[in-house]
């Protein structure tokens, strides 16, 4: 997917040097690496990028995972592993956020190796 995006960009915008990808999302909250298993698809996805913090809140996470954020979190019922992990974490006094990532064009060759997050 990323490689074909680079090809598209280079074909349609050859006058602009394409350096890499970046985005922000609730899916990029690095706390998921603490509260989900290593074989979680969210964790596997995150590990392919350089993650960095951004000023944020938990609204997007609750909207995407629970359809909304109620006044009282205790009223939410967990039906999935993801919902359970988030509620367990938040009910212990923690906060969810969204995060940001980048992936440099030159590093696409390392896709699948968790290049940015190797110890």
Q: Is residue 45 part of a domain?
A: yes
Do 12 and 91 contact (CB within 8 A), yes or no?
no
Q: Is residue 117 part of a domain?
A: no
In the three-class reduction of DSSP (H, G, I as helix; E, B as strand; rest coil), residue 25 is classed as: strand
Q: Is residue 52 part of a domain?
A: yes
Structural domain of 96: 19-108
Query: 34: domain CATH number?
Result: 3.40.630.120
What's the rounded Cα separation, in Å, for the pair 20 and 62?
A: 29
pTM as predicted: 0.87
Read off the pLDDT of residues 19-69 as tens digits, 9 standing for 90 and up: 999 999 999 999 999 999 999 999 999 999 999 999 999 999 999 999 988
Q: Which residues pair with 21 in a beta bridge?
A: 103
Q: Is residue 6 part of a domain?
A: no
Read off the pLDDT of residues 59-108 as tens digits, 9 standing for 90 and up: 999 999 999 888 888 889 999 999 999 999 999 999 999 999 999 999 99
What distance separates the 2 farthest-apart alpha carbons in the chain? 53
């Amino acid at each position: 997917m990323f490689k074909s995006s680079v090809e598209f960009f280079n074909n349609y915008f050859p006058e602009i040097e394409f350096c890499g990808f970046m985005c922000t999302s609730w899916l990029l909250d690095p706390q998921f690496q603490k509260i989900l298993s290593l074989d979680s698809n969210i964790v596997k996805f995150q590990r392919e990028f350089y993650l960095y913090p951004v000023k944020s809140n938990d609204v997007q996470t609750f909207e995407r995972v629970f359809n909304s954020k109620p006044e009282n979190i205790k009223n939410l019922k967990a039906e999935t592993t993801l919902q359970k992990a988030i509620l367990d974490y938040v009910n212990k006094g923690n906060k969810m956020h969204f995060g940001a990532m980048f992936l440099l064009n030159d590093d696409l060759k390392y896709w699948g190796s968790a290049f940015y997050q190797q110890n």
